[in-house]
Chain A
Amino acid sequence: MTALGALIRRDIRIALRVGGGALIGVLFFLTVTVLMPFAVGPDLALLSRLGPAILWLGALLASLLTLDRLFTADHEDGSLDLIVMSRTPLELACAAKALAHWLAAGLPLIVATPALGLLLNLDGTATLAVALTLLAGTPALTFTGMIGAALAVTLHRGGLLLAVLVLPLSIPVLIFGVAASQAAISGPVSFGTPFSILCALSLVSLVIGPFAAAASLRHGLD
């Protein structure tokens, strides 16, 4: 337990330090969101209708952008080999790393959501709904993305390959995240139905992600 705690603390500290790059995700999120009104036009009614989708898309891309850092730096300086060889089960270590990554890179996105909601003309309920669905859904993005990050680091290929592998897996999260936010704002469906499926997706990825990532690290690093 102490080993996992130490791993989480270390990862967060590295991510927040200069060169860690956790907060660059938030900056990217902000930039993507600001770009959208230029593309679709500054019509406030339209923006408030598209708002949840724009915020979800921005968060998805921002979390994809930072995924590369999950294993690459540790692989470069050799500490990933130490983690693989240590007595702590690799699955738990992967889960701890993903949790640390989510705390450092995912939570700031949710904190930034209300400010970005203002830019997109979302009212209080809508902003709250989007923030809540992001809170429930971004762990799923991190934990499924971790599989792609582990594959990419064992193949020494990052970037586009990672995106191509991870994005299809994150489509269900996007569907139910946006569906839940829309349901809270206008939809005929009650908020609970898509939201509970979103939570279920997060829980499933919480189980599958660490096992798949640990398997690919174990088989891939030699």
Chain B
Amino acid sequence: MTLTDLANPTRFLALTTRILPWLAGATAILLAIGLYQSAMAPDDYQQGATVKIMFIHVPNAWLSMFVWGVMSVAALGTLVWRHPLADVAAKAAAPIGAAFTFLALVTGSLWGRPMWGTYWEWDARLTSVLILFLMYLGLMALWRAVEDPSRAARAAAVLTLVGAINIPIIKFSVDWWNTLHQPASVFRAGGSTLDKAFLWPLLVMAIAFSLLFITLHLAAMRNEILRRRVRSLQMMQASRTSEARTGLRDVTASKEIGAA
């Protein structure tokens, strides 16, 4: 099974029908374990119980960047390899990515209120994530502005690749600008600075959220494929009825009689 095999939407639909229940089940189990572990994690000596917001916030923030990465690969698939499902993948990913980014912003500001004393600060990391959110919304607006999906796909692909510049800026913003948001503590040179009691729930939650994204993404791709089929069927029907109205009815009727 290679990527070219999946170019056939029917085969993709058949494959995802088999995979999706398993994925959804695994996501539910891991999320349950992660949430239980997060609830059982000890309070931080400085932050108290608010440290638990991190178990939701960090996976969302990771995924907000990861989804743009997925869309960039899909954009290359649209522009370079002309993979038929690439633009479906890109279109389906945008709202999910926007939701993850929004949740990262909301949970971050809920954490910021007791810790930093403010819901919002124009810090480099926060600002760049906000720009990411605006770009997700712009991309969704672009998808909605054009009826023809293939035309919208190429435009969206160019915009996605341009916007990908923002991802390393977000990642390194905490190192380049010495501002309020704390620097990376899990993946860093010299090992994680996080205590094991916090690290394990966080990793489980990260995997659970990644699985959640894959599940939602595949489901959204299926919806998009089916939506396009419905659209093309409707257009066929519309052209048939207009043919019938313009007096071709007699011709088809005589053909049917002949066939009978």
Contact = CB atoms under 8 A, between A and B. Distances in A.
Interface of A: 144, 147, 150-151, 154-155, 157, 161, 164-165, 167-169, 171-172, 175, 204, 208, 212, 215-216, 219-220
Interface stretch (B31-39, B47-55, B159-167, B251-259): B159-167
Contacts of B142: 151, 155, 161, 165
Contacts of B152: 155
A212 B161 contact: yes
A169 B164 CA distance: 11
6 contacts: A151-B158, A155-B155, A157-B145, A168-B134, A168-B138, A175-B127
Given A155-B152, A164-B138, A216-B154, 12 more contacts: A151-B159, A155-B151, A165-B159, A167-B134, A168-B131, A168-B134, A168-B138, A204-B165, A215-B79, A215-B158, A219-B158, A220-B154
Interface residues of B, number: 23
Does more than half of chain B's interface fall in helix, strand or loop, or is it mixed? helix
Interface string B102-144: 0000000000000000000000000100010011011001100
Contacts of A216: 154-155, 158
Contacts of B134: 167-168
Interface of B: 79, 127, 131, 134-135, 137-138, 141-142, 145-146, 151-152, 154-155, 157-159, 161-163, 165, 169
A175 B179 CA distance: 15
Q: Which 5 pairs of residues, A with B, have the shortest CB-CB distance?
A: A219-B154, A216-B158, A168-B134, A151-B155, A164-B138
Given A155-B146, A157-B146, A161-B145, A171 B162 contact: no
Contacts of A164: 137-138, 141
B141 A208 contact: no
A171 B131 contact: yes
A171 B166 CA distance: 11
A207 B146 CA distance: 28
Contact of B135 (A168, A204, A220): A168
Contacts of B162: 144, 147, 169, 208, 212
**Of A147, A155, A157, which is in contact with the most chain B CB atoms at under 10 Å from its CB?**
A155
A152 to B, nearest CB: 9
A169 B166 CA distance: 9
B151 A220 contact: yes
Contacts of B159: 147, 151, 165
A171 to B, nearest CB: 5
Nearest to A218: B154
Contacts of B137: 164
Nearest to B137: A164
Contacts of A220: 151, 154-155
Nearest to B134: A168
Contacts of A151: 142, 155, 158-159
A171 B127 CA distance: 9
